[in-house]
Structure 1
């Protein structure tokens, strides 16, 4: 293991420890918002490490109204890239919804509110018994998912930019020649079919009624 990687792991461990301590000290609202923001950032880092390296990646994908600017979009792409399981995706979506409950209600709410407590106890990444406090379920699931996202990011290998695959001038000339031959063959085929039509059948055509046909009087 190189020194750079070792230092990176140390930094992540320090951040994780500080994160866990912050969750303990925060209010219920602060805990929910801070945890979701940290997971959102961890997902962003994971995806960043899993995609082609390009200087425009942040602007194209992660900033402002870009496709991966939201927590929800990052969860979905991480799942479809095979970076998280279906169960982890479900827990992340639950954490996102809990975050929204706290963020969108001005009145004082807590993890003990019925709708939030039920969601916390259903988090699959919590190791607690269901009788434990809802906030304990929430922080346990968040910490476990965060550790998993960071570990997955370390093992991710970004794909290389696809090499230039534009056709050469020689290939373009060959393609033009092949197209010209195809047009010539089509023209010859059409001409031979036209010449094969008997002249008699053309001369015999008329707009009136055939002479040997009998029609009832009007």
Structure 2
């Protein structure tokens, strides 16, 4: 197994574990923070400049200091698709809502639920899965596309693939098998 593949598996296992713990608020805030951190890591790898220059870029007062700016830059550089940028922007908006309003603490709030089902999920159609599972899968899908962005060699717009129902069900089965293997691997460690 390549070092990069092992790193990818480690990151995704950590991400999945973090999302399973705690309240909906914790899940959303952890997802937003984790996705922002990984997108920043990928952007730092792709962008030129010395560490001090990059520090200024990503400082909270800098041009790439928030998730929204990082998302737009990731899309502009062809690292993520427009749909994944939209996911990140919506997750950022939800994060701000959860931070700003102490009442917005659950995915079952009708306004929050509606926004969550506007995310693009790699496995589920809207309303096909419980809200938290749908959110977690959409966040995981977004993370996957961020990490795949490491392989981008030239700037080209990424198009998020559209799948037929048969292809979607095949992918769902495939990912469930991989998830089972990862869980078994995680349990052995």
**TM exceeding 0.5:** yes
Aligned match of 1:81 = 77
Residue 108 of structure 1, CA deviation: 5.7
Aligned match of 1:142 = 139
Q: TM-score, normalised by structure 1?
A: 0.65
In the alignment, structure 1 residue 52 sits paired with structure 2 residue 40 = no
Aligned match of 2:124 = 128
Of 90, 98, 105, 1:102 maps to 98
Contact 2:67 2:88 in 1 (8 A): no
CA distance in 2, matches of 1:42, 1:112: 27
Residue 157 of structure 1, CA deviation: 4.8
Q: Which has the higher contact order (CA 8 A, sep 6+)?
A: 2
Contact 2:57 2:65 in 1 (8 A): yes
Of 63, 70, 89, 1:67 maps to 63
Counting matched residue pairs gives 154
CA distance in 2, matches of 1:108, 1:119: 12
SS of aligned partner of 1:56:
helix
Contact 1:91 1:125 in 2 (8 A): no
- Structure 2: stretches of 5+ with no match in the other structure: 155-189
CA distance in 1, matches of 2:104, 2:71: 28
Residue 10 of structure 1, CA deviation: 1.4
Query: Structure 1 stretch 113-122 or stretch 6-15: which is displaced more?
Result: 6-15
C-alpha change, 1:108 and 1:80, in structure 2 (3 Å) is: closer
CA distance in 1, matches of 2:60, 2:81: 27
Query: Structure 1 stretch 123-132 or stretch 21-30: which is displaced more?
Result: 123-132
SS of aligned partner of 1:123:
coil
CA distance in 1, matches of 2:13, 2:124: 20
